[in-house]
Structure 1
Amino acid sequence: MRSAKMEKAFWKDEILSDKQRKNLSILELVMKRGPISRTEISRLTGLNIVTVSNYITEFTENGLVIEKGLDVSTGGRRPTLVEINPKWGYMIGVGLTAFNIVGILVDAKAQIICEVKKERTSKTAEATIDKLVETVEDILSKSKIESNKIKGLGIGIPGVIDEEVQTIKWLGAMGLSMVSISGISLKDIFEKEFDIPALVEHDAACAVFGERWFGFEPEIKDMIYMYSGVGCGLIINGQIYFGSSGSAGEVGIFNPTEPDPEKRRQESINLGTWELDLGVVYNAKNAFKDGLKSKIFELAENDSEKINLELIVEASKTDDKLANELLEAAGMYLGKKIAFLVNLLNPEVVVIGGGMEKAGSLFMDTV
């Protein structure tokens, strides 16, 4: 089994050897800018052309990189272009959002081949994990890609992960009891089930890594990815920041909008209210119990168990008073939390994700 240290190689530069660092810098350029010539790679990385050619030759022999035509010549022989071979292998990623469970299969160029979505209806941690496993099964069935061609499986989980043994120390925004799965390695569960190398990581850390890798130029060194308000991924000075025990970014248990210290304490204890949707569904269900009238409940057929974020957003589009109030309150809460983090960390970029960004303009404008 690979150590957590090796698995963290993609997250922390100081763990990488010189060869691994050169590997990644070249592959990143080929991934992002391919087709690209060896000469251009040499210019952009600062590595000499012989070193670049040696690495590209090794990648080509392994089937990871393929030649793709010729570049325009500025004099002399036209340079050969190279790019990532999309059929070299495939990766699966699964995780939770405010709306549902999402799983995707991508090829080696990170192009989405297959996507599966499932409703988040599970009430226990065990059932939620079963749903995640089921999502991977559906991806393999739907894509018809043989499991031996899958290079890796990533699982994004809200909460705190023990990196050494890949167990969950706290389930965070799941709002689920974890007593019965305490000490169980999710990595082992998925590797035993699918015989694919697996990595379990904090969802917000995965999200900020993805944004940093695919969405922004390397010049961006400080970034916050706000994962719906219950947690955030942090990049500080170009590195993902985990903190001393891996719990950095767990900001969901503090409510800056609640003036009563005792209520704040109770909310911190009752972590089940801090869902990925900022408590919007929880508050809507309470309104239903209180007998309030709303388009939300019509759409849910007067069944509180059918109330979800999608219905609330749909009701808001009809200018429903309760739906608007719920989304506006959530936007105000998230906005205050972001303002606090911006003042604390002074990032260059703040990204809002995790599903709540789909809640519409009322929510985002309030943020």
Structure 2
Amino acid sequence: MSTLPSALQAPPSAPDVLGRCRELVRPALAEAVGRLHPWVAEMAAYSFGWCEVGGAPAAAPGGKGVRQALAVLGAEAAGADGRAGVPAAVAVELVHAFSLLHDDIMDGDATRRRRPAVWKAYGTGPAVLAGDALFALAVETLAATPGGPRAVRLLSTALADLVRGQADDLLFAARPFAGPERVTPEEYRVMAEHKTGALLGCAAALGATLGGAPEPAVAALDRAGRHLGVAFQLVDDVLGIWGDPAVTGKPVGGDLRERKKTFPVLAALGSPAARHLPELLACDARTEEAAALIEEAGGRAAALAEARARTAAARALLTELPLAAGAAGELCALLDFLVGRDL
């Protein structure tokens, strides 16, 4: 045990916080998945990186565990033991996995975390079934808690927003890069808050709810998580164009070749310097030119500036709340880590 006074101890790093929360949540998450039909449970375990097709144990790369960490920290911020937030962490992790299974099918993405996506490994129908089972299991998990009705309402609201965001994202793909029907940066912000921010905000709010926090604190944590979600999505957009493939697991310029309406592209299109960008985006062989023009037109800088502004807004909400000091510090460390990663 450290002999330093707690005020003089360095706060845990964000990776340490994520690791601590994953270790706390993993047994309950595994127990929940184990209640599913064996075949569906195998697909779920495969999606989490716990097994190979057929059920052989594996240690494949999993997600960072951001949402489950926010749930645990939400409970701790309310002054409760982190274990109070575990059911919330399990529920949001199950919903996140459900959304990824269905997203990969809708987007036609064949890989997830450097492995075949569940729909490629097991088939489209089975992957849809597994996603549905994870969603149902998430609701069941929350309904069994003492704060079940309130918690399920929070999750339902987040899911409705997530669906709205996904619907907008799919519709964006059919809209042009130029002209009156083009996607605007403001439309993108709203989509990102729904698609990515809603579940991050819900995670922190659910943890706080199960930890006994009052309604104003729960609402503020939800709002902070939504800001974090937009920032997280914007950083993903930057990495999708300029990120190191060894780190991101995606090819250089992959988002440009797929003609995704990401924030750096949309922001750059508002500049006269990017008048030739639509024609570059239409040609797979000119992605490097397109990336350079997006940066020259200010798209990269605009995305990062927006991400920092959203992070500052989330931090302001956290500092205004009467949160338990340790959890508040860890939440802020998580903000900086997620927005500053690999840039």
Taking structure 2 as the reference length, what is the TM-score of the superposition?
A: 0.33
More helix by share: 2
More strand by share: 1
Larger Rg: 1
Larger RCO: 1 or 2 (CA < 8 Å, sep 6+): 2
